[in-house]
Amino acid sequence: MKKTVEIYDTTLRDGTQAEGVAFSVADKLRLAGKLDEIGIVYIEGGWPGSNPKDMEFFNSIRKVKLKNARIAAFGSTRRAKNKVEEDPNILALIEARTPVVTIFGKSSVLHVEKVLKVDRQTNLAMIYDSVKYLKDQGKTVFYDAEHFFDGFELDEGYAVETLITAEKAGAECLVLCDTNGGTLGSRLGQIIEIVKKHIIVSLGIHVHNDAGIATANSLTAVELGAVQVQGTMNGYGERTGNANLCEIVPSLKLKMGIDCVTDAQLKQFTEASKFVDELANLRHNNKMPYVGDSAFAHKAGVHVNAVQKEQTSYEHIRPEQVGNRRRILVSDLSGQSNVLLKAIEYGLDVGDKSPEAKKILKSLKEMERKGYEFEAAEASFEILMKKALSKHKSFFDLEGFRVVDEKRADKKLISEATIKVSVEGKSEHTAAGGDGPVNALDGALRKALIPFYPRIADVRLTDFKVRVLDAKSGTAAKVRVLIESTDGKDIWGTVGVSENIIEACWEALVDSVEYKLFKDEEKQKKSK
């Protein structure tokens, strides 16, 4: 019989405690829908006793039909001086009308005596009363034993007694929390083995990532019998974050053979990971295992050559199992295999050991020697390849541009760019203002080209980076400009290098526009 593990997501509550993360009610509803799609069993919607926004979410989510998930409300045990049936926090949990309630209590004598400032028996009574009352209201109750592992080290007997108390009160699952995130895996395992001797009901695990081992500790707990794993998407959480479900779920399914989600749901994890970052208005972490853009990126020529022959030579799973893809990076470390695979990726015909491949590789290494970098500028590299194969089409010719910055008496800084381009012999001369010289130049270029290519009106810059390549040269230093652009559907990066920052920006802007135009042209040809 295969082991079952239920995934409990707390992104909407614990995840929002991360620095820089905030979700509106509308965001939380969209996120709950996405979590339901990828097979999450429990979605912790928030703490209804802490703020009106969370209660609004609970009122709204009841109108949403979920396919897989059950909604949980989170809160603390009753306060020491309150009767459980009169405690505002407990009443708010009832008012949330969720089928599941997760309630946390103190397992560490340090927190009991120095934070709550109550005696040990009072704390046990608070745990028992709260769990039992919620059970009597017909709720499925999970008990989060806060600071359990640290509390175990201070007083093993008392920490275990808090669990036994919650179990007697009717908790369906006792969740052991490494709240400070500092327990090493070997010790965590030893403690779980001791706990199992005293507890009958199911155990769960909730780990923070302060020592960088939250995923490993969560998996260790599952190996030792935990049947519920709590965590957040992308590892959001207070301080350094919580256990990352985007690492845990693939590991459970692909490494441990535990079908916590279906194959189809697992394939949605990369997209879901990026979706969560988009809602949080954060850049996606390219280095994240499984779902990051770099998770299956190969740069060294030896690696690329090996992967081309046998995928498992440098990949621990197939990227498509988690909805990701293999990427071949190009740099001065690249070999001919990189070029050939990139050509295939772009649909270009480059034969093995062909003069064109050697020409592309030579050009690549020469341009990187000058300061160009194509790892984050694959659009510029595709243009480089097309030029080497004589398949590049210039959509316009520059006749000239001028950029002016003016500091006025009212202390406002005004940037303006004028540009003249020709398209198939027809000239267009325009001007545009902007927040800065690059913004103005971008605006002027697109304004000049829109009469000829209306579709570039959809293009906008989403990121702009400048790096000084030889700082010792001072203000005469060469700079590299990386630009990220989007048309609302696709995202692409381009690069420019020069001692003049405006010229470097111009190179990257031209590549960005031309990439959009020839990609649209290719789509039109395929649709015919």
- C-beta neighbour count of 160 within 10 angstroms: 21
Residue 489 has pLDDT above 70, yes or no: yes
Write the single-letter amino acid at 289: P
DSSP codes of every residue in 259-273: -SS-HHHHTTHHHHH
Q: Quick one: the chain helix, strand, coil %, rounded to 5?
A: 45, 20, 35
pLDDT in the model for residue 524: 78
pLDDT in the model for residue 7: 97
Q: How confident is the model at residue 303 (pLDDT cuts 50, 70, 90)?
A: low
Q: How confident is the model at residue 290 (pLDDT cuts 50, 70, 90)?
A: very high
The CATH classification of domain 6-261, taken from the options 3.20.20.70, 3.40.50.1220, 3.90.1570.10, 3.40.50.970 = 3.20.20.70
CA distance 263 to 124: 43
Q: How confident is the model at residue 333 (pLDDT cuts 50, 70, 90)?
A: very low
Angle, nearest 10°, between helix axes 336-345 and 301-309? 60
pLDDT in the model for residue 438: 85
pLDDT in the model for residue 492: 86
396-452 is classed CATH 3.30.160: yes
CA distance 462 to 307: 32
Q: How many CA atoms lie within 13 A of 500 on its CB side?
A: 6
CA distance 390 to 501: 29
pLDDT tens for each residue of 9-58: 999 999 999 998 988 898 999 999 999 999 999 999 999 978 888 999 99
């990220």: which residue's tokens?
Answer: 484
CA distance 98 to 127: 20
Q: How confident is the model at residue 476 (pLDDT cuts 50, 70, 90)?
A: low
pLDDT tens for each residue of 115-136: 999 999 999 999 999 999 999 9
pLDDT in the model for residue 437: 86
Residue 339 has pLDDT above 70, yes or no: no
pLDDT in the model for residue 82: 95
Residue 73 has pLDDT above 70, yes or no: yes
pTM for the model: 0.72
Residue 195 has pLDDT above 50, yes or no: yes
Residue 232 has pLDDT above 90, yes or no: yes
Assigned token pair, 170: 């009717």
* Average pLDDT across the chain, whole number: 87
Give the residue, 149 or 370, on which the prediction is more confident: 149
CA distance 251 to 36: 19
CB contact at 8 A, 27 and 35: no
Region of 35 (left: φ > 0; alpha: ψ -120 to 50; beta: rest) is alpha
pLDDT in the model for residue 332: 46
CB contact at 8 A, 8 and 269: no
pLDDT in the model for residue 1: 46
Tell which residue, 152, 146, 153, 292, has the closest CA to residue 230.
146
Highest mean pLDDT among 40-54, 302-316, 358-372: 40-54
CA angle (286 as vertex; 282, 291 as ends), nearest 5: 100
pLDDT in the model for residue 521: 82
Domain boundaries, the chain: 6-261, 396-452
CA angle (17 as vertex; 14, 23 as ends), nearest 5: 90
pLDDT tens for each residue of 81-120: 999 999 999 999 999 999 999 999 999 999 999 999 999 9
CB contact at 8 A, 507 and 514: no
Buried/exposed 210-219: b ≥16 CB within 10 Å, e otherwise: bbebbbbbbb
Q: How confident is the model at residue 294 (pLDDT cuts 50, 70, 90)?
A: confident
Measured in degrees and rounded to the nearest 5, phi and psi for residue 280 equal -80, -5
pLDDT in the model for residue 247: 97
CB contact at 8 A, 273 and 288: yes
pLDDT tens for each residue of 373-389: 766 677 887 887 777 77
pLDDT in the model for residue 380: 81
Residue 471 has pLDDT above 70, yes or no: no
Angle, nearest 10°, between helix axes 355-370 and 378-388? 130
